[in-house]
Structure 1
Amino acid sequence: MTIRIAPAAVADFHQVLTDHARYWGERDLRSLHLLALVQEFGSTCLVARAEDGIRGYVFGFVTPEGTGYVHLIATRDDARGTGLGRRLYVAFAEAAERRGARKLKAITSVGNTGSVAFHRSLGFDAEIIDDYDGLGRAMVVFHRDLPLDTSRP
């Protein structure tokens, strides 16, 4: 099956929300999906499309300071373990670099061990920062320099 990674369209955003449970299971993260990201930062909001729909996506942007910030990345339940998340990250990193990014950043909740392991496998440093997401809400903050090493599987 051929998977093509391309900039997300507004229709893709709505499809991702319709199929939310396929990407996030029981966790309701719809409020973190911001249409403005797709509309304003379309070149760094990407979908991985196959014949059977959107297999995964990454929504992010480049800050004025040159950081490629990954706001959300997800793969559909039937695409996990295929390397698609890594491919999406590489595509995002390349798009961010074209827009002047020199480093990458992402965050996740402290209990999201899968995300922590995934980001560490991509060479990110991880730091727990207290009150990052409000009083009493520590988050894991990931950082790494670009380019992203694409030689890893």
Structure 2
Amino acid sequence: MTDLRRATPRDLAEILADLPSYWGDRDVRHLHHPMFVREFGDTAFVSGDVDGYLFGFVAPAHIGYIHAVAVHRRRRGTGVGRHLHTAFAAAARARGATRLKAITGPANAESIQFHERIGFKADLVTDYSGPGQDRVVLTRDLP
């Protein structure tokens, strides 16, 4: 497995320059605010040569929130996503988190299935992001 390290502004620029390699044709630029690297950098990770990345933070309610996680198409299926989640869980636990949480759209079956495989529970929440904007809330307790 490749080494993980803290994400840098340079990594973020590289990710933004190649978003389709991580997200396909989905327009997710809005998920990549610089604050996730600059302000929450202690819980923002990249793997290897930006084979994958995870941006998160620990909320005051002791929840480790996974804001964005993606693996480059060249490294899918190699364990990078699981490795990123493990590192984030350890960092979140060290900051007092007792639970992990992520949000995705109901159509994102790949993300939902991945998170369920690594122990998350998926719940569809109607109107989570406003009227007609259902989301799947993924949660997992930290030991």
TM-score (norm 2): 0.97
- Please tell me the residue identity of whatever aligns with 2:46: V
Q: Which runs of 5+ in 2 are unaligned?
A: none
CA displacement 1:31-61 (0-9 Å, x = unmatched): 1111111111111110002xxx210000000
What SS does structure 1 have at the residue aligned with 2:50? strand
What SS does structure 2 have at the residue aligned with 1:73? strand
- State the percentage of identical aligned residues: 46
Give the deviation of 1:19 after TM superposition: 1.2
- Residue 83 of structure 2: aligned partner: 87
- Residue 140 of structure 2: aligned partner: 144
CA displacement 1:55-100 (0-9 Å, x = unmatched): 0000000001110000000000010000110000001101111111
| Aligned-CA RMSD value | 0.9
- Please tell me the residue identity of whatever aligns with 1:11: R
Is structure 2 residue 100 aligned with structure 1 residue 101? no
- Residue 28 of structure 1: aligned partner: 27
- Please tell me the residue identity of whatever aligns with 2:100: L
Give the deviation of 1:16 after TM superposition: 0.6
- Residue 45 of structure 1: aligned partner: 44
Q: Which runs of 5+ in 1 are unaligned?
A: 148-153
Runs of 4+ in 1 over 3 A off after TM superposition: none
- Residue 62 of structure 1: aligned partner: 58
What SS does structure 1 have at the residue aligned with 2:91? helix
- Residue 9 of structure 1: aligned partner: 8
CA distance in 2: counterparts of 1:93 and 1:10, whole angstroms: 22
What SS does structure 2 have at the residue aligned with 1:38? helix
Number of equivalences: 143
TM-score (norm 1): 0.91
